[in-house]
Chain A
Amino acid sequence: MFRSHYDSDVTVWSPQGRLHQVEYAMEAVNLGTATVALKTEDFAVLVALCKPSSELGISLPKIISIDSHVGISIAGITADARLLSRYLRTECLSYKHSYSTIYPVQRLVTNLGNKLQITTQRYDRRPYGVGMLLAGYDEKGAHIYQVMPSANVLICKAMAIGARSQGSRTYLERNLSEFKTSSMHDIIVHGIQAVSRACPLDEELKIAVGIVGKDQPFKLLSSVECDAYLELAKTSERHETPPETPAETVEPSAVPSDIDPTSTGFSEEI
């Protein structure tokens, strides 16, 4: 994306029919570390690559629980993600309070999409700079949704977003047929394999895993459990990272982790 005359405002169309500001916002997602979502018949799994922005810190939370049946994984501006996760949480709580049942996942993401769309059509607001993968389980089964700053909400069988995620997406495409009938353990292993494609080979693989499904409220796996799955994943083959396409090439020294301009960390009161 190069500077053009039509990119100063989100309310300005280009002659080609594009909203450049929205497209620039989508680039913010690629600055976050990779995260992957996939599902079986009964479970939806989120796996995220955790890389701190500097050696002095720890990585910011990538996977956030929203309710007992929904969790999200984010890539992009963490501050925006914090706001959106607070919004999703209060929406779910409010629905549960009013109707005594969980918020159907499809309606929740549509609600979120509508909220995001407002920011793409107002001169005084900017699009949220965070992409998210939403994993949910309700009476219609397991769901994966991708929500982008453009307010597009996509239903996915599996998806990867973030820096260098093209390799992960290729892995997911190649193994898609296996996912539906996988066991819970196998699908987590697939997720780890997929996300490892986005991690340079010389770096240690640090991950976070979230799982939700039948008789399984949303749960973030502990570090002990994550290590156990990492071991399990090592026993399967790990391929060389495929060559990156020119658009994806990012200098290793550029910050390939979630943007946190204020560095206040996630543990503060949202």
Chain B
Amino acid sequence: MSSSSDSEISRRAGTDDDFDETDIDSDDSVSNIDMNFNPYEYNGGTVTGIAGEDFVVIACDTRFSNEETVLLTEHSKLFQLLPMAVLGSTGCWADVLGFMGLVKERIQLYEQKHNKPMTTEALANMMMIAMYAKRFYPYLVLNILAGLDANGKGMLYTYDPVGFFETVPYTAAGVAGQMLMPILDNQVAFENTNIPPEQQPELTIKRAVSITKDAFRTASERDIFTGDWVQILIITKQGIEEDSMELRHD
């Protein structure tokens, strides 16, 4: 390459242009691009949610790790965004914080512009828009939004990292999410059981919390990234109550 384009490459190495194909084969003025850099870190954690007629139970474990080691043991993954809505987020913690900052800003802007509090449905939709905006470089965040709708009914929204969301009666997300879904299917919805409808116990808050605790205990036995403590938030019209349970610390 001619000397003029050498200096051009050196100058461009500090800009966004340095991912241009032609630079990769050039001389060592651009050798400091690490092609093995992974922008995402997996910080573990599990979140579950169970929605009832007039309540929602959302829970998370409190272990915070990276792929090699446990970093924190009392690290909550639940954020109260509105008086009656709580978001549980796991995945890449840097993305969780970045996304949370955005969501909090949008909530405040909404409430100032509209002069009224934001509803859970509006928040759920707004989160989808915020996540889809980064469709081609997503937030690696697995979200569960739990809250009461305008009529006081328990609502649970589950998301994928690019914003798809739907209302579900129960869900589990995070490292042990796939492991816990069959348990919740079995215990909350009585799927794949032979229990006739009249013998199925009603889904009360007590039962939902009990199922949640059992689920986390199960997950912490098998999954290495889940453990330490479970933090449970019970959202009702009266407010948000907290419960917790200790798990194995190994």
Interface residues of A (CB under 8 A from B): 65, 67, 89, 93, 96-97, 267, 269-270
Contacts and interface: CB of A to CB of B under 8 A. Distances in A.
A269 B108 contact: no
B105 A97 contact: yes
Contacts of B105: 93, 96-97
A52 to B, nearest CB: 18
B39 interface: no
Nearest to B104: A97
A93 B102 CA distance: 10
A270 B113 contact: yes
A247 B173 CA distance: 70
Interface of B: 101, 104-105, 108-109, 112-113, 115
A93 B109 contact: yes
Contacts of A96: 105
Q: Determine the main DSSP class of B at the interface with A.
A: helix
B108 A93 contact: yes
Contacts of B101: 97
Q: Which of B101, B112, B113 is the most central at the interface, judged by chain A CB atoms within 10 Å of its CB?
A: B112
14 contacts: A65-B112, A67-B108, A89-B109, A89-B112, A93-B105, A93-B108, A93-B109, A96-B105, A97-B101, A97-B104, A97-B105, A267-B115, A269-B113, A270-B113
A57 B11 CA distance: 61
Nearest to A220: B115
B90 to A, nearest CB: 22
Nearest to A267: B115
A212 B122 CA distance: 28
A151 to B, nearest CB: 25
B78 to A, nearest CB: 19
Given A97-B105, A267-B115, 7 more contacts: A65-B112, A89-B109, A89-B112, A93-B108, A96-B105, A97-B104, A269-B113
B171 to A, nearest CB: 29
B204 to A, nearest CB: 37
Contacts of A89: 109, 112
B172 to A, nearest CB: 31
Nearest to A266: B115
A90 to B, nearest CB: 8
Contacts of A65: 112
Contacts of B109: 89, 93
Contacts of A97: 101, 104-105
A96 B107 CA distance: 13
A188 B105 CA distance: 31
Q: Which 9 A-B pairs have the closest CB atoms?
A: A93-B105, A97-B101, A97-B105, A270-B113, A89-B112, A93-B108, A269-B113, A65-B112, A93-B109
Contacts of A267: 115
A93 B112 CA distance: 11
Nearest to A67: B108
Nearest to B105: A93
A209 B36 CA distance: 59
A174 to B, nearest CB: 36
A206 B187 CA distance: 60
A46 B79 CA distance: 34
A269 B108 CA distance: 14
Contacts of A269: 113
Nearest to B108: A93
A94 to B, nearest CB: 8
A67 B101 CA distance: 16
Contacts of B115: 267
A89 B106 CA distance: 12
